Copies of this chain bind each other. A is one copy, B any other.
Amino acid sequence: MTGNTIQLDKNGNLKHFLTTEGLSQSLLLSILDHAESFAGVGERAVKKVPLLRGKTIANLFFEASTRTRTTFELAAKRLSADILNLNIATSATSKGETLSDTLHTLEAMHCDMFVVRHANSGAAHYIATQVAPHISVINAGDGRHAHPTQAMLDMFTIRRHKKSFENLRVAIVGDILHSRVARSEIHALSTLGVLETRIIAPQTLIPKDAENLGVQIYHDMDEGLDGVDVVMMLRLQKERMSGALLPSEYEYFQRYGLTNKRLEKAKPDAIVMHPGPINRGVEIDSDVADGERSVILQQVSHGIAVRMAVMAMIMGRQPDNMGDTE
């Protein structure tokens, strides 16, 4: 699944947004630049621009996620699009309809964009290969594979604090193995040219192909955090605990939980990120999550701006002619 063959149209513009892998640095920077234009909309008295008025966007969530669905819904509404929320798990496919028939039916209703969340890796990519030419697909998380809008809102947050990427050391901490977020972050950081990306996790939570991803692998938290500019924590899926992959929750926190004391190893101006929802006391201490280095809530705000940017770019709309507030 290389990104650029299917994600771009013949003019090199973004057509689908499925993965950060394979997209050029200039395209990723363009997403960040567009998002800057939209970041101000959330601060306005009237948080709405008419850019996608009369467009129809369908949230196709095969896997429930209120938080992610809500950010896409808000982004669509603030662009003045019409949005359909479809919980596919409970609808037509349960009547024996094939996925392909469900998709073609939504196409025939003149939807313009599908925002897809699915438990299986590759689902959004598969859907992008199936849909009619007028439909764009945004991957809102597929299995362990990718979550590109999450990665780009993280990049946006890093750039806001660190201005440029080239001299940065970034550490990603936690369950890398099962994390679509980590995978999309690693690709984006690499393309944007950071100095070093580190992953910190017990051996059981490191993917087998990690060495091909261009990252440094650490099993010791103190070593891995030494001198980094950015600490990206991952959510620990508690259901992993029951397997043989992890020691107890207590022991995990002792070894990989982020505390203020441990954060002293990082640079004095290091920022702390987390995609949410947070497990306080599991992967991150409350003092850190609520501390002055935490940019976790900024990530949420930036998530709306980045999703507005991606939706607008895909529909060929420029924020500089976004018009007055509706």
Contacts and interface: CB of A to CB of B under 8 A. Distances in A.
Contact of A108 (B48, B97, B301): B301
A47, A73, A78 interface centre (most CB from chain B within 10 Å)? A47
A297 B66 contact: no
Given A66-B86, A82-B77, A276 B55 contact: no
A244 interface: no
Interface stretch (A26-34, A209-217, A277-285): A277-285
Interface in A81-140: 82, 84, 86-87, 90-92, 95-98, 101-102, 104-105, 107-110
B92 A82 contact: no
A53 B42 contact: no
Interface string A45-80: 111100001111000000010110011011001100
A326 interface: yes
A326 B98 contact: no
Contacts of A108: 297-301
A254 interface: no
B276 A109 contact: no
A304 interface: yes
Contacts of A56: 47, 74, 77
Contact of A277 (B82, B84, B96, B277): B96
B300 A98 contact: no
Contacts of A42: 109-110
Given A66-B91, A95-B277, A101-B280, 5 more contacts: A64-B91, A67-B91, A92-B277, A105-B297, A110-B301
